[in-house]
A and B are shown apart, each in its own frame.
Chain A
Amino acid sequence: MIPINNFLVLSSILFAIGMYGVLARRNAVLILMGVELMLQAVSINFITFAAYLDPTNATGVIFAIFVIVIAAAEAGLALAIILRLFRNRQTANVDEADTMKW
């Protein structure tokens, strides 16, 4: 028997690691990988609560499926934007794409 807190602590740690990746990295592709880790943490949380607190309906699992769908759409779109940025600027580093900062 695994206590519910084990899953929730794992999810918090995974979210914090993803957050570090998003905040610390300079390259847009690596930032996107941090975002993926954060979304994974959210999915674990949804499924944990579905499995422990609300066994009669599958809402938590459905939400996790939607998270995966949105993450796939987001990854495709973000990588297209990064590709475009690279073609126009010859860089994929977010701290060099600062035209709006004067």
Chain B
Amino acid sequence: MSYEEVIFYFVAGLTVISALGVVTARNVVHSALFLILSLISVAGIFILLAAEFLAIVQVLVYGGAVTILILFAMMLTRVRDIQGSLNGKQAPLAALVSAGFAAVSIFALTTTDFPGESDKINVITTEQIGDALFTTWAVPFEIASLVLMVALIGAIVIARGEEGE
């Protein structure tokens, strides 16, 4: 086993274990902290795939902004004071469905032969990403920024509530 594979199995194991922590933790704040660990391990996977720009974006956007937002929402909605189980009655059925999904998709992709598969990871440079983003994908890029702005204005309007409340 090469050292690359050792690192892969370590990071992948960390990702899966912390993801399991997110969905099984009994304390909601532990769940959020597991989510941060899981997202940062996914950034490690991105580095193994030679996409270091995305790894940095991942740590900034997910590790920073999104998890802080989630922790804020938890405090404002007093999730910690919930009495009783965090899982619904359907939890065993949900476990069955997702285990079935995992089994089917893993079976499908291990029996699939991907045409044109290279035997090494190809480095996609940040220069290449920037070039594609501002030429081929310029219009979707502008639309994405518009979507972000509309979503955030909408979020402010929804969260602020009516006057005099």
Contact = CB atoms under 8 A, between A and B. Distances in A.
Interface of A: 1-2, 4-10, 12-21, 23-27, 29-30, 32-34, 36-37, 40, 43-44, 47-48, 50-55, 57-62, 64-66, 68-77, 79-84, 86-87, 92-93, 95
Nearest to B130: A58
Contact of A44 (B2, B45, B88): B45
B20 A17 contact: yes
Nearest to B38: A37
Contact of A47 (B32, B51, B148): B51
Contact of B86 (A14, A26, A54, A71): A26
Interface centre among A9, A33, A54 (most CB of B within 10 A): A33
Contacts of B85: 26
Nearest to A10: B12
A83 B77 contact: yes
Interface of B: 2, 4-5, 8, 12, 15-16, 19-20, 22-23, 28, 31-32, 35, 38-39, 42, 45-46, 48-51, 53-54, 57-58, 61-62, 65-66, 69-70, 72-74, 76-79, 82, 85-88, 90-91, 93-95, 97-99, 101-102, 105-106, 109-110, 114, 116-124, 128-129, 131-133, 136-137, 140, 144, 147-148, 151-152, 154-156, 158-159, 161
A62 B69 CA distance: 24
